[in-house]
């Protein structure tokens, strides 16, 4: 028995020596101390640097200057804001309230150029204004007409808050189509929780590709004097582009006007007014000297169609009518006592607010 164990041990030792001689790397591994390798760090870093680098050169600082009340030859800076270069021809979009009272507007580009801007036009209803600067080689904000903002999209607000210099904040789109939050007009807003402070007005709200989403206009606190956090608003890019083009073409926004006061229709109202459909608006009143009154509209008429376009609600009517050129004769279909009737309306020019 002992002889068997001895032979087994001797055979094992000889085999081990043979393996070490044949494979010298095994000796290094046996003698090396055991080490625990640290976990590899995540090489993916979340950053919006690409978007900021694409968009920020096109965001400018705007200084509102006014003549001194005691010295009409002396200009002093009265306010500040931001703007966005929309075209290589020098057109800049900003907020109406940034430049509304300005006697002179100074634009400071991120490359150090400082220029006096010409006011092309301003629109109080949408809180938008267009400036033009005489300069070449201008950085233009990236635009993407196919992008549709959606709740949850990450966005960056770029501007000049409190004249600290260009600053970027980020958040998400909290809501779209926020109606009734306009401080001057009736348009819908994008709501975001990206911080927008004094001086950010007129700056760019961009997506993570650096493409323009909207023009920053105000925070909820600025509009209501209520202490809030994370509620800010921007004017959608699509509306911004439309208003900019109109201001460049005419110096002001020419809107169609019919002079109706109405309510959206619902199924209960439809039954009360003997209407088989729920699409339309019910006339509740009108401007006595307005185009609708002159065309023969009556209270309790249900407006269902304008120029061949189906009416869905008051917002839809406002959008259709404001795009019509004043002086245009347009057919409008109404239901009166349940019976269809067509009225010819001469579109008027919306009064200034």
Active-site annotation, residues: 97, 127, 201
Mind giving me the DSSP string for 104-129?
EEEEE-TTS-EEEEEEEEEETTTTEE
Q: Is 305 annotated as a binding residue?
A: no
For residues 283 and 298, is the Cβ–Cβ distance under 8 A?
yes
Q: Is 81 annotated as a binding residue?
A: no
Q: Is 262 annotated as a binding residue?
A: yes
How buried is residue 245: exposed, middle or buried, by Cβ count under 10 Å (0-12/13-18/19+)? Answer: middle
**Half-sphere exposure (Cβ direction) of 28: Cα atoms closer than 13 Å:** 3
- Which residues fall within 8 angstroms of residue 194, CB to CB, at 6 or more apart? 155, 156, 157, 169, 170, 171, 172, 205, 232
- Cα separation, 5 vs 2, in Å, equals 5
For residues 185 and 127, is the Cβ–Cβ distance under 8 A?
yes
> What is the distance between the terminal CA atoms of the chain, rounded to a whole angstrom?
114
The angle subtended at Cα 331 by Cα 330 and Cα 335, nearest 5°, is 140
Q: Is 260 annotated as a binding residue?
A: yes
Q: Is 261 annotated as a binding residue?
A: yes
Return the closest-CA partner of residue 94 out of 286, 240, 281.
Answer: 240
- Annotated binding residues for substrate, as ranges? 258-263
- Annotated binding residues, as ranges? 258-263
């Amino acid at each position: 028995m002992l002889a068997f164990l001895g032979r087994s041990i001797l055979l094992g030792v000889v085999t081990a020596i043979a393996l070490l001689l044949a494979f010298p790397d095994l000796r290094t591994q046996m003698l090396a101390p055991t080490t625990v390798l640290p976990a590899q760090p995540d090489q993916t870093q979340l950053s919006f640097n690409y978007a900021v680098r694409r968009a920020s050169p096109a965001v400018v600082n705007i200084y509102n200057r006014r003549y001194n009340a005691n010295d009409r030859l002396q200009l002093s800076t009265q306010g500040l804001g931001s703007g966005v270069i929309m075209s290589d021809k020098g057109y800049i979009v900003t907020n109406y309230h940034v430049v509304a009272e300005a006697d002179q507007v100074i634009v400071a580009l991120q490359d150090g150029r400082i220029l006096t801007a010409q006011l092309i036009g301003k629109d109080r209803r949408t809180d938008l204004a267009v400036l033009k600067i005489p300069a070449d080689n201008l950085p233009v904000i990236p635009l993407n007409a196919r992008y549709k903002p959606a709740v949850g999209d990450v966005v960056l607000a770029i501007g000049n808050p409190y004249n600290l210099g260009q600053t970027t904040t980020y958040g998400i789109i909290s809501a779209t189509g926020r109606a009734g939050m306009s401080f001057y007009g009736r348009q819908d807003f994008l709501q975001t929780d990206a911080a927008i402070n004094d001086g950010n007005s007129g700056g760019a709200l961009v997506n993570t590709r650096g493409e323009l989403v909207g023009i920053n206009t105000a925070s909820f606190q600025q509009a209501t004097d209520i202490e809030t956090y994370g509620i800010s608003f921007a004017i959608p890019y699509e509306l911004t582009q439309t208003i900019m083009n109109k201001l460049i073409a005419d110096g002001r926004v020419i809107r169609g006007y019919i002079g109706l006061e109405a309510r959206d229709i619902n199924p209960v109202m439809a039954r009360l007014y003997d209407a088989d459909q729920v699409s339309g608006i019910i006339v509740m009143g009108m401007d006595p000297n307005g185009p609708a009154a002159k065309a023969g509209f009556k209270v309790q008429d249900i407006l269902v169609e304008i120029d061949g376009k189906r009416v869905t609600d008051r917002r839809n009517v406002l959008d259709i009518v404001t795009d019509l050129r004043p002086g245009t004769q347009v057919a409008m279909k109404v239901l009166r006592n349940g019976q269809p009737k067509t009225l010819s309306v001469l579109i008027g020019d919306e009064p200034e607010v």
